[in-house]
Amino acid sequence: MEKTVSDAIAYRRAVRIYKDEPIDSEKVKACLHNATLAPTSSNLQLWEFYHITDVNMLKRISTACFEQKAAKTAKQMVVVVTRKDLWRKRAKANLDFHNKSFEKHDLSERLKKRKKMTNNYYGKLIPMTYYDILGILGWVKYVTFWLMGLFRPVYRQTRLSDMRVVAHKSAGLAAQNFMISMAAIGYDTCPMEGSDTLRIKRALNLPWRSEINMVIGCGIRHEHGIYGPRFRVPFDEVYRKI
């Protein structure tokens, strides 16, 4: 029986050592499907998930993760990759989807306005936000919007570094969906940032514009797999009600 959302969140820990027991790759794949349902900026879904089950590839990724136990004892791994370079393809996919949806209706004035807004958003606004030339255009947009912001609210995240943050935030949300889904079925995970990302990209034959968001070890927790009780700073230190 699957855990409730709250139970799965409470159960999930960063497990550093896994039992020498196999896990069902189809169940892991189903949890990755849940990852793709995570919220994502502008619905661009600038992510990919590499589900590692091959023993030799597991060893290569483990080596790139410095042989830390969460990698070395993992029975499977997931590499979460950001693909900011795919923004054109994903924007077009959104545009095609919405235009096809609108074709099913005898459009009212409200739907005509929504169609126009959607076409402007994915056909004009997204290209204006994501298109750049060696980072120069991003700074031009940044200064322009900063000046506009003196008089009204504007979107200010226009530089290459800003768009990287946007892509990684979305990928992180997807990764959390995956880890909570794994916890719900009694599987364990450990998100790892400590890795040689260049070696991982080479091992997976990833394009140079892609970026590694995190590597997630997967398995069933060993009795010594959790290194200590959960610590969180007091809730009152991080909660602010306005």
pLDDT, tens digit (0-9, with 9 covering 90-100), for 213-241: 999 999 999 999 999 999 999 999 999 99
Per residue of the chain (242 residues), give pLDDT as tens. 899 999 999 999 999 999 999 999 999 999 999 999 999 999 999 999 999 999 999 999 999 999 999 999 999 999 999 999 999 999 999 999 998 988 876 788 888 898 899 999 999 999 999 999 888 988 998 999 899 999 999 888 889 899 999 999 999 999 999 999 999 999 999 999 999 999 999 999 999 999 999 999 999 999 999 999 999 999 999 999 99
**CA-closest candidate to residue 217, choices 63, 58, 64, 81:** 58
Token pair 């023993």 is found at 55
pLDDT at residue 30, as a whole number: 98
On whether residue 154 sits in a domain, the answer given is no
Integer-rounded Cα Rg, in Å, for the chain is: 21
Give me the count of residues in the chain: 242
Residue 104 CA to residue 97 CA, distance in Å, equals 12
On whether residue 100 sits in a domain, the answer given is no
State the DSSP H helix or E strand holding residue 183, giving kind and residue range, or none if neither: helix 160-184
pLDDT at residue 105, as a whole number: 67
Token pair 């990759």 is found at 81
The answer to whether 179 touches 213, Cβ cutoff 8 Å, is no
On whether residue 153 sits in a domain, the answer given is no
pLDDT at residue 165, as a whole number: 96
Residue 212 domain boundaries: 5-82+162-225
Taking every pair of Cα atoms in the chain, the longest distance, rounded to a whole number of angstroms, is: 62
Tell me what percent of the chain is helix, strand and coil, each rounded to the nearest 5: 50, 10, 35
On whether residue 107 sits in a domain, the answer given is no
**CA-closest candidate to residue 196, choices 73, 70, 49, 62:** 62
On whether residue 179 sits in a domain, the answer given is yes
The answer to whether 40 touches 174, Cβ cutoff 8 Å, is yes
The answer to whether 65 touches 192, Cβ cutoff 8 Å, is yes
pLDDT at residue 110, as a whole number: 86
On whether residue 78 sits in a domain, the answer given is yes
On whether residue 129 sits in a domain, the answer given is no
What are the distances in angstroms from CA 131 to CA 128, 135, 143?
A: 6, 9, 16
Residue 15 CA to residue 174 CA, distance in Å, equals 19
On whether residue 40 sits in a domain, the answer given is yes
Q: What is the number of domains present in the chain?
A: 1
User: Around 161, how many Cα atoms within 13 Å sit in the side-chain half-sphere?
Assistant: 3
CATH number of the domain that 220 lies in? Answer: 3.40.109.10
Please return the burial class of 25, using the count of CB atoms within 10 Å of its CB with bins 0-12, 13-18 and 19+: middle
